[in-house]
Structure 1
Amino acid sequence: MPVILIDADGCPVIDITIKVAKQFELETILICDTSHRMEREGIETITVSKGADAVDFVLVNRVKKGDIVVTQDYGLAAMVLAKQGFPINQNGLVYTEENIGQLLEYRHISKKIRRAGGHTKGPKKRQKENDIMFEERLIHLCEKVVSQPSE
């Protein structure tokens, strides 16, 4: 049975994810570092040492084909896709083989601009519509993964 893994550091949709996972009887695992320690009743939490990409490495080593991963990290999403998982961000964007290349390129260009002293736009303020879109798309992903035959 697939699971839902959450890159929980700074994730605004943890409770929505848990609610949807329970509807589909999917196990949910929170992965965070020591500066974002969190607990939810009945949910496994893995806390890793603080460090660049520490959560990402633990998460990608746990993900299996068909698992859903909630993350806003494009690099992690690319690794999840390589393992045939289903990454989704907190606004409901489902990362795919078709869109991940462009997203990674945008991240690379933005990083170059910042290194050169330039500025890039930050994320827009979170709206209720973001939560609604996330929940709708997560439900769709859950329907997809629970209907797939297990190997």
Structure 2
Amino acid sequence: MRIFVDGDGSPVKDLTIEVALTYSIDVVIVTSIDHYSMKEYPENVSVIYVDKGADAADYKIVQLIGKGDILITQDYGLASLVLPKEVRVLHQLGYEYTGENMDGLLEQRYFSAKVRKGGGRTKGPKAFTQADREKFKEKLLLLIEQSIH
């Protein structure tokens, strides 16, 4: 099992690494070259930089991720692409993407895009809170425990 992080703008990278270290799980952060950093990570963490482009990180994750892995992303489209690979997918707010909730999420995304394309406005995400961070950590720990037992 590995944990992949859709790294562009993820507020839970460091928390994910902290949890993964506890279980000696490898973490793969996939991010755009636009987010290049000299930050040093623990030995169990690798960073893969991809070219600029809206979906470059998504395509790389789909290519690399496999059965039994966990993906951290807020991208519904990416989640829908990896779920058939028997991957567990967790949003940074602590809820899991599943086959059961994916259709509704994609439909919501489609209608929001349609409103924006027509000149309308949709709400952006709320600020990420400490409560969000705790909920995410709790759910990540649960997914890991379920995966190793």
Question: Given the two structures, how large is their TM-score scaled by the length of structure 1?
Answer: 0.94
Structure 1 unaligned regions, length at least 5: none
Q: Which residue number in structure 2 is paired with residue 60 of structure 1?
A: 62
How many residue pairs match? The answer is: 146
Q: Which residue number in structure 1 is paired with residue 9 of structure 2?
A: 10
SS at match of 2:4: strand
Offset of residue 82 of structure 1: 1.2
Q: Which residue number in structure 1 is paired with residue 135 of structure 2?
A: 133
Q: Distance in 2 between matches of 1:41 and 1:88?
A: 22
Q: Which residue number in structure 2 is paired with residue 41 of structure 1?
A: 42
CA offsets 1:119-144 (integer angstroms, 9 cap, x no match): 00111111110000000000000111
Question: Given the two structures, how large is their TM-score scaled by the length of structure 2?
Answer: 0.95
Q: Distance in 1 between matches of 2:36 and 2:6?
A: 12
Q: Does 1:72 align with 2:71?
A: no
CA offsets 1:10-49 (integer angstroms, 9 cap, x no match): 0000011001111121110110011112342321110011
SS at match of 1:47: strand
Q: Distance in 2 between matches of 1:66 and 1:97?
A: 16
CA offsets 1:107-126 (integer angstroms, 9 cap, x no match): 00000000000000111111
Offset of residue 80 of structure 1: 1.4
Q: Distance in 1 between matches of 2:93 and 2:133?
A: 7
CA offsets 1:43-100 (integer angstroms, 9 cap, x no match): 1110011112000000011111110000000000011111110110111111011111
**Percent of aligned pairs with the same amino acid:** 41
Q: CA RMSD in A?
A: 0.9
